[in-house]
Amino acid sequence: MVKLYRGHVIEVIAPAGPGKFKPRPVIVLQNVNKNSDMVTVYCTTQNNGDDQNNIFIKADSPEGIEMGIEKDTYIRPNDILNLSIKSFRKILGKCPLMAEINKIIDDNRAK
């Protein structure tokens, strides 16, 4: 088992509609051990218009390159996914934006 730590950007096979699944990058929110599910932050190429609570990353930016993403991506810190460790495929990179992710989560928790 590969060790997954907070901030790792990983590829998982995630739900993509009723009965459908697809490879998707997510960000590990809590360290993962072999017996736990993964708590992750959702990433998508789709803009939902919530600019205050999303972080947009261009794939060719320094952050995008460090994260290992292939497409421009919206990080959605308020969309937390609990996924089985069985959905893990590979580590893509590391997210340098954990402070910004924490701030969005904390600000919305306080509401």
Residue 32's CATH number: 2.30.30.110
Total-model pTM = 0.92
In a domain, 36, yes or no: yes
In a domain, 1, yes or no: no
What is the tally of structural domains in the chain? Answer: 1
In a domain, 22, yes or no: yes
CA 6 from centroid of its chain's CA atoms: 10
Whole-angstrom distance, CA of residue 69 vs CA of residue 103: 22
| Neighbouring residues of 106: CB distance < 8 A, sequence distance ≥ 6 | none
Cβ–Cβ under 8 Å, residues 41 and 55: no
Tell me which residue range forms the domain holding 43: 8-109
Cβ–Cβ under 8 Å, residues 43 and 29: no
pLDDT in tens, the chain (111 residues): 678 999 999 999 987 778 888 899 999 999 987 777 899 999 999 999 888 999 999 999 999 999 999 999 999 999 998 998 889 999 999 999 999 999 999 998 876
98, two tokens: 């954990």
| Neighbouring residues of 6: CB distance < 8 A, sequence distance ≥ 6 | 28, 29, 30, 31, 98
Signed CA dihedral, 65, 5, 111, 46: sign only: positive
